Amino acid sequence: MAEKVAVDRETVKNMYGLAGKAAIVTGATGSLGAAIAKGYGYQGVKVMLTGRNEGKLKALREEFAAEGIDCAYAAGDPAKEEDVQRVVDATVAKYGEVNVLVTAAGVSIPNSILQQDTAEWQSVMDANVRGTYLYAKCVAKAMVKQGKGGKIVLVSSARSQRGMKGYTGYCTSKAAVDLLAQSLACDLGEHHINVNTFNPTVFRSDLTEWMFHDDNVSANFLKRLPIGRLGEPADFVGIASFLASAASDFMTGANVAVDGGYWAN
């Protein structure tokens, strides 16, 4: 007689459930961070919204709370360790623990290396690499202290594996985020903390809205996207939810393309 298939019904039914988890979402006032934070909130996650602009955070919290989402906010600079620690401490004080981190904060300042000021390049690295590292470090320490494991989801980019003219700062920073995730996975695996990235292609935001209205630029870019369209912030709620859930428990150190097929073409 064949052995019974070793899949538990209740585990499968609940593997995507996030209700009751406490998450920090950085860059929450940006289009991607806001979409992920709201998507988490709709699933019953308690969300700490963070970013630099306190006014925008307050307005976002009011919007979410009006829809019944349990959320709070704490402003701070992700590149300043004291700010990061304060946000993590505020989350633990508010919700008792932190189970999920999503680092959606980041910047891009396109410019040729021949013209870009070194300080400008450094500001991209600080926002995209230093800020990601500091949040991962402070949250990981909190998770280890809690002893329950956790999920760290780093937002990278399809540009982490593709160079581009004028993007020596951005591409380099996102390649660093990919390797950071792999190294963190090795550091934190023994504590049952999973660390992965997802790597978007171009999606609608304040910085990219023009691309959606420039037929020439859009048509040329779409030649590289088998899926046939540019991204929307809501396209990334699913992968952010999967990487925060028990469904991804055997997955760590991965760089997941959510790019409309950009890496495949």
Token representation of residue 129: 């690499």
**Catalytic site residue from 73, 133, 135, 170:** 170
β-pair partners for 49: 25, 73
What is the distance between the alpha carbons of residues 22 and 40, in angstroms, rounded to a whole number?
Answer: 10
Query: Is residue 170 among the annotated active site residues?
Result: yes
Which three-class secondary structure state does DSSP give residue 101?
strand
**DSSP character at residue 179:** H
Residue carrying the six token digits 């064949």: 2
CA angle 12, 16, 18 (to 5 degrees): 135
Q: Report the candidate in 178, 170, 158 with the shortest Cα–Cα distance to residue 225.
A: 158
User: What span, in angstroms and rounded, lies between the C-alpha atoms of 248 and 242?
Assistant: 6
Catalytic residue list: 170
